[in-house]
Structure 1
Amino acid sequence: MFRLIAALFSGLVVGLVARFVYLGAVPMGWWMTILLGIGGSLLADLVVNRGDVGRPARPAGFIASVVGAMALIFIGRHMGWH
């Protein structure tokens, strides 16, 4: 239960920072911001651990998670999401 609360809180923080740093307005509610942050963390984790099959996974880190969330905003904007 604590891990779920921690994931929601860190997703919120990462999503808020990504929305603040991204140029232009990013209209979305709290739940979308949390999902954006969690998705950014997962995307960064995927990139950081690519090709490391058989090794323990390394955490992506805060900055990589924010960059991943910003990449998701960029992709969403270019696919027609406003």
Structure 2
Amino acid sequence: MEDVKCLSCNGVLFKKNALDNKGNWAMDPQHSLDLIEETDSTYFKCPHCSIKNIVVDSISPTGLGQLKIVRVEK
């Protein structure tokens, strides 16, 4: 299991588990965080500092879709 951390405070947002040996992963259901979708952004809200960790859709090296945290907003 690996931690996905807030870009602002470095607190743990959620944990992820490897799905295979190609680098694909999924959010661990026991350590999950809701993905919030609004009109202008999609984000994980940090439970430690309340900053929005903005995510975008991207493609993994194996060709599967994935979310990537790219910046923070208040």
Quickly name the TM-score band, shorter chain normalised: under 0.3
TM score, norm. by length of structure 2? 0.26
Please state which structure has a larger fraction of its residues in helix.
1
Greater strand fraction, Structure 1 or Structure 2: 2
Bigger Rg, structure 1 or 2: 1
Q: TM-score, normalised by structure 1?
A: 0.24
